[in-house]
Amino acid sequence: MADKVLPRHLGIIMDGNGRWAKQRGLPRSAGHAAGAEVFKKMVLYCNRIGIQYLTIYAFSTENWKRPQNEILTLIGLFKIYLKDALTNFLSENIKVRFLGDTSVFDPQLKELIDDIKKTSAGKTGMVLNVALNYGGRAEIVRAAELLAEDVKAGRIQPEDINEKMFTSKLYTTGQPDPDLIIRPSGERRISNFLLWQSAYTEYLVMDILWPDFTTKDLDRALDDYATRNRRFGGI
């Protein structure tokens, strides 16, 4: 990968777990379990090839609309893999951050999230952003609320607000915008993911369900990215 132009910040929308399970006559929970294994493999691989920032869309603000048993399955898997992250990811020098409102989760999950953030705070390798209870619109509203509080407290004036200041109130503050977002499963939607940050992001939709996604598929996506001419509105 040394001679390939890699995205500095890669985003992945993990999609297709339910359909993968349905195709095999399995419960949706089996698809989520298979997808969680792929998540772990992709994180370790991205760190190994030199991706500096990886943002994984794990659970959106809209996912609460799913059946209760499926939500409980997902939360159970989060606990399993966050415990795993305390050993595998951190031993790989990966710094883990969380995007979204994690205050709504149960005490055990919140404790795991806090433990991982504290334990990985001093790591210097790849930054892994796990988007949990995350929505792009909610993030933008939150940033606006934080700026409004600053104005109300007299710390800033409304005319002081600009894009740089707004960006500083986002969950991804201090990080570069994503260069590439990959969406497996063939669905052609943004799905409320990194709306502000992805203004000039390259997108790639791949017709493969997330549990079937492999490192070769990721390599193929990165090869495609390397051929793109990013103009950022210029010529």
* Residues designated catalytic: 15, 63
232/235 Cα distance (integer angstroms): 8
Closest CA to 111 of 123, 122, 98: 98
User: Which letter, b or e, does each residue of 73-104 get, where b requires 16 or more Cβ atoms within 10 Å of its Cβ?
Assistant: bbeebbbebbeebbeebbebebbbbbbbbbee
What are the helix (H) ranges across the chain?
Answer: 17-23, 28-49, 68-85, 88-91, 107-120, 136-152, 163-167, 215-226
In whole angstroms, what separates CA 97 from the centre of its chain?
10
Q: What is the largest CA-CA distance in the chain?
A: 59
225/219 Cα distance (integer angstroms): 10
User: Dihedrals φ, ψ of 217, to 5°?
Assistant: -65, -40
3-state helix, strand, coil split of the chain in percent (to 5) is 50, 15, 35
Cα distances (angstroms) measured from residue 74 to each of 79, 124, 188, 194: 9, 29, 23, 21
Closest CA to 42 of 227, 178, 221: 221
